[in-house]
Amino acid sequence: MISLDVLRGITIAFMIMVNNNGGHAYWPFEHSAWNGWTPTDLVFPTFLFLVGVTTVFSIESRLKRGESASSQVSHIIRRFVVLFLLGLFVNGFPRFPWAHLRIYGVLQRIAICYLIAGIMWLAVRRWPRRVATLTGILAVCLVGYWILMRFVPVPGYGVPGRDIPLLDKDANLVAWLDRHIFAGRLYEGTRDPEGLLSDIPALATTLLGMLTAIWLRTTRSIERKCAGLLGAGVVCILLGELWNPWFPINKKLWTSSYVLFAGGCSLVVWAFCMWFIEIKGWKKGWTGFWLVFGMNAIAAYVFSEALASLLWAVTLPAGPGAHSSLDLWLYSRVFAPIHPPGVASLLYSIVFTLVCWLPVLVLYRKKIFLKV
């Protein structure tokens, strides 16, 4: 489905932009400070949602070619290891500070969710009630995570909502557990947006993608499939908003309301992409740019993160006894003079994204698609 690769390409391009925004970005290109959401907060869950979709498509395709279930398990485990190691490489490059190397990360979360979801699909794919089973597991993940975050006392702090504020930035179960497992290795010092416990609702995002894949693999017409995505997306958005007052939408904790809301947005956006591309046939011209990113999504992401780290690691003289990283040096001399600052930041994001697009374009034209 071309719309799937286009949506994945849009997601990766936006992910690269928001990760390299120059520091003065307009609000759509910044993460929400805590509770609430911005368009930036919808990027990662969309990619994880698509991981669930493509996991089903990939496994079924391999099985159809005659591969055994045991070989599929080996493939899933191997891919999990490679993704996790790539995540560690991204976190450490280019200096690799082993004593404080961050263990969590975007690719690590993708790896964990892919491992569990892939093996789960192999276990239930022939069950007569697989949709009910996966929906039940998804519900357990969402409700179970809410129970953990709402009613389980945080050691040294108390019960959330009674002794401490619900979803306090540091006094929450996710942050407390991460500080005890990987102290000194967390992205934000006292907490991490890809923490261990929040892998539970992240798995629910992946399962939502798997359920979507089941719907798309039916014999219904493309128009009905598109309508189904749109309807399911609207329902998920409403459910997320309804849950929001009691369990706020929060990307950094990946709350259950956030899973539903972000998943609903992914479904709605995909429905529009499907309508434009698969139904209306509007494929020429505008889809090419996004397909380049979408067909080599992991390669594009790793390259962007490595480039950003390299620009940060290279230092240049910036006055008597002062030094500046190469990225700040470039921004201050090329983009900072542009006003207002939000426009300068946006232009920096666009240029950085285009630079990352060029090597992936070479791969695309040579028909090289890097599969982990």
3-state secondary structure of 164: strand
Residue 205 and residue 344 in one domain: no
224 contacts: CB under 8 Å, gap ≥ 6:
none
Q: How far is 47 from 44, CA to CA, in rounded Å? A: 5
Q: How far is 137 from 142, CA to CA, in rounded Å? A: 9
Say if residues 92 and 99 touch (Cβ distance below 8 Å). no
Residue 104 and residue 115 in one domain: yes
Residue 303 and residue 245 in one domain: no
Low pLDDT (below 70) residues in the chain? 318-319, 321, 372
Residue 206 and residue 176 in one domain: yes
Structure confidence at residue 21 (pLDDT): 86
Full-model pTM? 0.94
Residue 49 and residue 127 in one domain: yes
In tens, the pLDDT along 19-46 reads 998 888 899 999 999 999 999 999 999 9
Residue 84 and residue 98 in one domain: yes
Structure confidence at residue 284 (pLDDT): 85
In a domain, 38, yes or no: no
Residue 247 and residue 130 in one domain: yes
Structure confidence at residue 372 (pLDDT): 67
Say if residues 17 and 352 touch (Cβ distance below 8 Å). yes
Residue 270 and residue 189 in one domain: yes
> In whole angstroms, how far apart are CA 302 and each of 93, 124, 244?
11, 32, 33
In tens, the pLDDT along 313-347 reads 988 876 676 778 898 989 988 998 998 999 999 99
Say if residues 191 and 211 touch (Cβ distance below 8 Å). no
Residue 16 and residue 71 in one domain: no
User: How many separate domains does the chain show?
Assistant: 2
In a domain, 36, yes or no: no
Domain that holds residue 291: 1-30+283-314+322-372
Residue 129 and residue 113 in one domain: yes
